[in-house]
Amino acid sequence: MMNIKHVMTGMALSLSLPLMAQWGGPQVQSTVINADNTVTFNYRSQTAKDVKVSVQFAGEKQMTKGDNDVWSVTVGPAKPDIYPYCFIVDGVNIMDASNPEWFPNETFKNSLLDMREGASKTQQVNEVAHGSVDYVDYYSELMGLYGRLVIYTPPHYDRNQNKKYPVFYLVSGTTDTEEVYFKVGRTNFILDNLIAEGKAEEMIVVMPYGNPSLYFPKGQAPRMMGDMFSKTLIDEIMPFVEKNYRTQNDKDHRAIGGFSRGGNQALANGLANLDKFSYLCSYSSFTMQQLTPEVYKNAADTNSKIKLFWLGVGTDDFLYQNAKEYMDLLDKSGIKNTKVFTDDKFGHTWMNARYFLEQSLPLLFK
């Protein structure tokens, strides 16, 4: 049976439910969340010889052909969360054509399974005041093209014309696009909920694309001293945001964070610019400690500049050892930091990335 209580009582976002295919024969519900939190996946094909599903809580699972050319398998139970999945049809990975919720990425295409019942309420769409998520384009003189930013403004931003807000720069991970912290990370709904509960400050969140060299065809990206992302972030994105949004423009009202490679970009840019950022967040990051050796040499000075140095990683993350070594370096150097570990077997995933957002956003700008 469909577990749709939240849908019917107003807790659901419009397009979060996979939708029924309208064309091409009998309809099939591609994902059915059962009462015991198992999930039944269905895929209809008259021609497929082999169909599997790949879902992040279970890996690859063989599906079996039943009536009406529908292949099915029931997987789980799963801890209620939002899971990327795809079908593998005769060896080819495909998104669920009937599900408009997808994972924005450079190199793979997954759909998103949203198990609401029992999942973190802070990640759901609740009846609270909602902010807005803006897609804006800034012109980069450095790159000679427009880059895109996804920008969250908190509830009532437009009405509070005399109010200025702190800004959190939040960087996508390897192969993720600038949409990922919105469409997969649910940063907007997490913040809406935390703000409504009085747990987080109202803030603007700026989500840039962490990999601007891919704006260009292979081999065509301009060569620069230093890396393109850091330059466009500091010299172009920040001025653009501060010109076009009502921001508080000092270090104690700026935070920077990111997931995976984006976490490294956040730490590298944050630590290299402690006159600009007081809050640093690392989510499941690949950390390159050698980038900023000077900050470890004078812990008292560094600690005086940083209000929050937050690091989260899953103990099953393939980057765990790297993250742990970095944490050890911080501790050994006397750099104050906050560590959060998950041991839920989710490893290097957006299930963890959302959890880390939930845990760290309340600590910003306090």
E strand or H helix at 150, and its extent? strand 145-153
Cβ-proximal residues to 159 (8 Å cutoff; 6+ apart), any chain: none
Environment class of 318 (CB within 10 Å of its CB; exposed 0-12, middle 13-18, buried 19+): exposed
| Least distance (Å) between residue 17 CB and its own copies | 6
Q: Which two tokens stand for residue 117?
A: 């019942």
Binding to its own copies by CB under 8 A, coded x per residue (else -) over 37-56, reads --------x-xx--------
Is the bond into 77 cis (omega within 30 degrees of 0)?
yes
* Contact region with its own copies (CB under 8 A), list: 21-29, 71-79, 269-277, 289-297: 21-29
Site for its own copies in 94-133 (CB under 8 A): 94-95, 97-98, 100, 102, 104-109, 125, 127, 130, 132-133
Residue 91 as a binder of its own copies (CB under 8 A): the answer is yes
10 Å CB burial of residue 357 (0-12, 13-18, 19+) is buried
Query: Which residues is 147 bridged to in the sheet?
Result: 138
List binders of its own copies among 290-309 (CB under 8 A): none
Token look-up 């989500």 returns 207
- For the bound state, the minimum distance from the C-beta of residue 2 to its own copies, rounded and expressed in Å, comes to 5
Distance CA 362, CA 366 (A): 8
For position 15 contacting its own copies by CB under 8 A, the verdict is: yes
- Contact string 172-201 vs its own copies (x = CB under 8 A): --xx-xx---x-------------------
Which residues from 260-289 bind its own copies, rule CB under 8 A?
A: none
Nearer to its own copies by Cβ, of 10 and 198: the residue is 10
Q: How far is CA 31 from the centre of its chain?
A: 23
Count the residues in the chain.
Answer: 366
Q: How far is the CB of 182 from its own copies (least distance, A)?
A: 7
User: How open is the CA angle 108-112-117, to the nearest 5 degrees?
Assistant: 160
Q: For its own copies, which is the closer residue by CB, 76 or 208?
A: 208
Minimum CB distance to its own copies, residue 310 (Å): 27
What is the rounded CA–CA span in Å between residue 301 and residue 162?
A: 35
Tell the smallest beta-carbon distance from residue 111 to its own copies (Å). Answer: 9
Sign of the CA dihedral running 182, 101, 232, 213: positive
- Contact call for residue 137 and its own copies (CB under 8 A): yes
Nearest approach, Cβ of 169 to its own copies (angstroms)? 17
**Phi, psi angles (nearest 5°) of residue 94:** -135, 150
Is residue 64 close enough to count as binding its own copies by CB under 8 A? no
Residue 119, token pair as written in the block: 């999942």
Closest CB to its own copies among 4 and 329?
Answer: 4
Distance in Å, CB of 20 to its own copies, minimum: 5
Q: Write phi, then psi, for 209 (nearest 5 degrees).
A: -90, 120
Neighbour count for residue 51 (Cβ, 10 Å): 23
> Among residue numbers 238 through 257, which ones bind its own copies (CB under 8 A)?
244-245
Of the pair 99, 289, the CB lying nearest its own copies is at 99
Nearest to 361 by CA among 257, 286, 240: 257
Nearest distance from C-beta of residue 333 to its own copies, angstroms: 33
Least Å from the CB of residue 171 to its own copies: 15
**Between 152 and 310, CB nearer to its own copies:** 152
- The token duo for 278 is 């007081």
Q: What character string, x for contact with its own copies (CB under 8 A) and - otherwise, covers 202-231?
A: -------x--x-xxxxx-x-----------
Neighbours of 133 (CB within 10 A): 18
Q: Which of 62, 68, 93, 160 binds its own copies (CB under 8 A)?
A: 93
Q: Which part of the chain contacts its own copies (CB under 8 A), choosing from 52-60, 89-97, 298-306, 357-365?
A: 89-97
